[in-house]
Each structure stands twice: as structure tokens, then as C-alpha cells.
Amino acid sequence: MRTLFSWLYAPLFFLGFLAAGVWLVSDGWPLPTLLALLAVAVLVATVAERCLPYRTQWNASHKDEPRDLLHALVNEGINGLGVITIPVLAWLLPSPGLWPSHWPLWLQLAVALPIADLGITLVHFASHRSPLLWRLHSVHHSVQRMYGFNGLMKHPLHQTLEALGGVLPLLLLGLPPALAALLGFAVGIQLLLQHSNVDMRIGVLRHVFAWAPVHRLHHLK
């Protein structure tokens, strides 16, 4: 049973919460509902880390929960403000109207995710090369343990730069606000899996997703 949980946890967590997010937005629920769903995801991740930890000592408090909570609230607030300003940005920026808004929402998300991921990855890559950007990104690498919630522990300015790197190309294509909110939710789910203390097995998916078994290597001192 333990082995089965190890193999199923990551894909079910990722696809399950994304499917729930797509359903909420498609069904017309207000966009802040995604924040409540993200809170449920944090709770599920926390319970899973207690049931099947990768390192038991990482479940012990380092008195970092208040810090991580504050970072999460600030950074998710920035994401929320970003979604609110999208109509304004769409009005200011020249848009060719190329975004396929008539497609099903899940298909739009499937197209938006790799585009946003490329932009975020390029900013991340630069942050490990540029001394100025590293001063911001080093806040994230200062964690002394890895558990799901501290994936949201980032310098707000660096969070903003990554968000711009991922979303700006999509805005130029005419990304709608609802999809932007769903995209931010998907990034939050990804971060929970990247920094998870669950002893998960991901097999060939390690070549596609930088979930915890891969991302832990990135955080090695």
C-alpha cells in the first residue's frame, strides 16, 4: 500500500487539483475560490507528508511556518493583483488577439502551461547566473528543510519577475483573466509538489516535471 501511494501521489495530486480548478472556473465560480482550493491542496500536502515522509526530521518545526505563511500571503496577493490588472494591461498592450479563447478551458491551460513555464525557467536560470538576481532568489534557497508549503517562500520582487517572465508573452497573445488565475493556481500546485516532503516515486515523469525527487537536488548546498 505504501509503495502504491508513493507512485500515485504526485500525478493524482497534480491532475486532481488542476481538474478541480478547471471545473470551478468553467462552472462560473468566483476566481478567489481558487485560493480556497489552494488552501485545501496545502492541507492535503501536509497530511501526506505526515503519512509518508521522505525525511521525518523535515516534518519537525524549524519555527519557519510563520515566515513561510507570510511569504505565501504576500506572493499570492501579488498574483491576485496581477490577475486584476490584466484587463488594464490588455488595453495598454497591443494584442493581436491570437489567444484561442474559444477552445475548452482545459486545452487552453495545457497550451499556456509550457509557455509560462519556459518564461519562468529562463528567469530562474538567469537568477543563478546574475549576482543581482541571485540576491533576490537566494531568499528561496535559504530554507533549512523542504516541505510543500515553503515552495511559496520567495522574495516578492523575484516572484514578480518570474510571474512577468511567464505571463507577459501570454498577455501579448490576449490571455483572458480567468485563465491567468487558473495558471497561477497551477503554478502553486506545482510548487507544492516541487518542495514536498512526501517520499514519492515519479519514474519517467522526472523528465517532464521538476517534482520533489528532482528539485531536492537543486536545493543541495
Cα dist from 88 to 64, 94, 174, whole Å = 37, 12, 12
So what's the pLDDT on residue 70?
Answer: 83
Rg (CA), the chain: 17
Q: Which residues pair with 198 in a beta bridge?
A: 53
Q: What pTM, to 2 d.p., does this model score?
A: 0.88
Q: Which amino acid is at 113?
A: L
| Alpha carbon distance, N-terminus to C-terminus of the chain | 33
Contact 194, 211 (CB under 8 A): yes
Closest by alpha carbon to 190, among 142, 151, 150, 138? 151
Query: What's residue 77's pLDDT?
Result: 73
- Whole-number Å distance between alpha carbons of 124 and 105: 27
Is the confidence at residue 220, as pLDDT, over 90?
Answer: no
What is the reported pLDDT for 12? 97
Q: If pLDDT is split at 50, 70 and 90, which confidence band does 32 have?
A: confident
For 1-7, which contacts have Cβ atoms below 8 Å and span 24 or more sequence positions? Answer: 2/52, 3/201, 5/51, 5/52, 6/52, 6/198, 6/199, 6/200, 6/201, 7/200, 7/201, 7/203
Residue 158 has pLDDT above 60, yes or no: yes
Greater model confidence, 143 or 75: 143
CA–CA dist 97, 148 (Å, integer): 37
Q: What is the pLDDT of residue 5?
A: 92
Query: By percentage, how much of the chain surpasses pLDDT 70?
Result: 91
Q: Domain residues of the chain, as ranges?
A: 2-218
What percentage of the chain reaches a pLDDT higher than 90? Answer: 53
> Which residue has 511559496 as its cell numbers?
152
pLDDT of residue 97: 74
Residue 134 pLDDT > 90: yes
pLDDT digits (tens, 9 = 90+) for 90-124: 556 666 778 898 999 999 999 999 999 999 999 99
Q: Is the pLDDT of residue 82 over 70?
A: no
Distance CA 81, CA 97 (A): 23
Mean pLDDT of 165-193: 88
Q: Is the torsion defined by CA of 156, 129, 168, 217 positive or negative? A: negative
In contact, 148 and 193? CB cutoff 8 Å:
yes
Q: Under a CB-based contact definition with an 8 Å cutoff, are residues 83 and 77 in contact? A: no
C-alpha grid cell, residue 120 = 519562468
Q: Which residue has the cell 514578480?
A: 160
Task: Tell me the three cell numbers of residue 174.
Answer: 490576449
